[in-house]
Structures are given as C-alpha cells and as structure tokens.
Amino acid sequence: MKMIRVLVVDDSPSVRELLAHILGADPALQVVGCAPDGAQGLEMALRLRPDVITMDLQMPNMDGYEATRRIMQACPTPVVVVSGAGSHAEVEAGFHAIEAGALVLVRRPPGPAHPEYAESARALVRTVKSMAEVRVVRRWNGSATTARPPAPAPARRPAPRRLVVLGASTGGPAVLRDILAELGPAFPLPVVMVQHIAPGFTAGLAEWLGQASGFPVSVAAHGQQLMPGHGYLAPEGSQLEVTRSLEAALVEGVPEHGMRPAVAHLFRSLPPELRSAAVAVLLTGMGKDGAEELKRLRDDGAVTIVQDRGSAAVYGMPGEALRLGAAMLVLEPARIGKALHTIANQPEGGLSVLGL
C-alpha cells in the first residue's frame, strides 16, 4: 500500500502536534514535515513534494492564502484548509484560500478531551485521504473547449425556463463563484445550489459567494419563495427540494451518496411541470451524486450541462453524468455562466445559439 505523504502547515506548535498525531496514527498516512508559517510551508512543499498539504490561515511571514497561491503556481498539490472557524474573518479567509486553489475547507479537530474529538479526527483523516486522489494542475490562464457527448438532445420545442439547479462538491465553491459572476443581478431565474461542504461553513460560503460574484446568495429557508436574480444554497443537515410554486422545502431525509444535502435529492425533487423548464448543472466532485438524476432531467426536457474535465478539480460527478449520456453541453465554468445567461434571457433563440 502506497503511503500518503502529508505536510502540516500551522503556526501553533500545539496544533501542529495535534494534527501530526491524528494523521500519523493512520497507517496509510505519513507526516513528512511540519512548517510554522506559509513561507516555510512553500519551501517544504517544493523540497518534499507531499501528496497533500494541510494549511492554516492566519500565520506570520506568509499567510495561508499566499502560501496556497504560490504552491499552486510552483508545485500544484492538494491543499486542505484546516480552520478553527471561530470568527467571520477566519471563515472569509478560508474561502479566499479556495480562490487561490485550495480544494476543501474543514474544521480543525478539538483536543483529545473534547467529546467531538474522535469523530472530527476521523473526518479529517477521511478528507486528507480523499484529497490525495485529486490531481491538481496549473490552470490560472487556461481555457477549456466546448465538447458535446455524441447522443443528440431530445427533439422537442424548448419550454420557457423557470429555474436553474446546480450541484457541486470538491472544488465547487470557486466554480460556483465563476458561474454566478456571469449572471448579474438582473438574471431572470432563481438559482438553487447544493454544495458539499464541512458543517459550520455554509453561511460563510453563501456570504462569500455573494461578495465574490456580485450575485446575491443566501442559505435557503423552508417555505421561502425562490426569486429571480438570487441564489439559494442548501443548508447543512437538510435535503433541499423545490415545489411546483417555486418555493424551497427543507426535509430531514436520509443522506444520499453519504451527503445531506445531496445533489441527487434536489434534482429528483423537481415536480413534473418544472422538469422541462429547468436548467440543471453538475460540477466538479467525487463520486456520482446527481449523475443519474441529471440524466432523468435531460430525458424530461431539461437543459443539462456538466463542467469540462480540464477545469474540474475532480471529475467523478460530471464524468459519471457524461458516461450516462446525461449532458447536453460540456463547458468550463465561465462559459456555463454565459450559457445560462443566454438560455434564461432568450429561451428559444438561446438554445439555438448553443446548438441545442
């Protein structure tokens, strides 16, 4: 079994010791170094070439954002931001690190005496192991090409579009930002989103998405009317549904694909009269969440889009959708946003322009 080599970057000696203990206790992980600030973290990343880096945010000499940015330029490596999430500033800094190329934001485990220590330690280990499978690349100035699966789109008269639904997992926050930035506040449809994220960060994600994209985003509430030109993020711990009257409905539900909220549940919840009036988008992420449901939406007349391989941090979810023939378009994030704008503002002509 190949060992997963991990570099820990944190300015607190006690936190470095805690993370090294948690990660080093797993037989599949090897902590190859601990750095007290971002500058040394960058140097050790270049020298040691770890498989995964855990990154603190607030550090002297070079903070976690700058260290992540430079690592992704010099030696692209999966970066897991380990945050205390104790303040608004720290949550905001975590999403800036994701802008710089970090893959995921997780909560720092408490000390061993805390009742949540064991579960949070297991969650950290799971995350580090799964991120080791992600191949990250330099793609700051890259552009992706449009592709299309060989199966033709269903031949039916396009219906006026009434909503957009999106699903994302690993690498998703920055992708959602890029898509929403193309829409503008006058976008004529509501945008409903499921993003897999660690507990405690959903409200911060909604705020960051709104600020970074210029498109207003909030966490969905039960019974809330879904309004045009606004984004709604599924809250943690609930499954999000959309009713025929375009209201959000929160149900406890069971986890699907290990997730609650799950993309599959949102996509499947669309009532018959909304399915042909929807645009559904599946983005970067591990596993298969939402892929089968995207295929069903396509069969029912929805416009379906998946992210292209070159821009995706992980191609599990969109790749499975492609395998099933679920996608009508395969696009990079900014072009997804432009396509949504065209479809929403010119329902029939827009589809013609897109070749659908």
Structure confidence by residue, pLDDT tens digits, 257-313:
999 999 999 999 999 999 999 999 999 999 999 999 999 999 999 999 999 999 998
Per DSSP, the residues of 154-181 read P-SPPPPP-EEEEEE-TTHHHHHHHHHH
Active-site residue, selected from the candidate residues 11, 26, 56, 289: 289
Highest mean pLDDT: which of 88-97, 109-118, 151-160, 232-241? 232-241
**And the tokens for 189?**
């449809």
289 an active-site residue?
yes
196 an active-site residue?
yes
- Render pLDDT for 167-205 as a digit per residue (tens, 0 to 9): 999 999 999 999 999 998 899 999 999 999 998 899 999
Cα–Cα–Cα angle for 214, 281, 205, rounded to 5 degrees:
40
Which of the following CATH numbers is that of domain 163-353: 3.40.50.2300, 3.40.50.180, 3.30.360.10, 3.30.300.30? 3.40.50.180
CA–CA distance, 322 with 197 (Å, rounded to integer): 24
218 an active-site residue?
no
> Which class is 4-131 in CATH?
alpha beta
The residues spanned by each domain of the chain are 4-131, 163-353
Cα–Cα–Cα angle for 280, 131, 325, rounded to 5 degrees:
30
Cβ-contact 267, 280 below 8 angstroms: yes
Active-site residue, selected from the candidate residues 169, 213, 269, 311: 169
What residues contact residue 352 under an 8 Å CB cut-off, 6+ apart? none
Same fold, 4-131 and 163-353: yes
Active-site residue, selected from the candidate residues 26, 51, 196, 265: 196
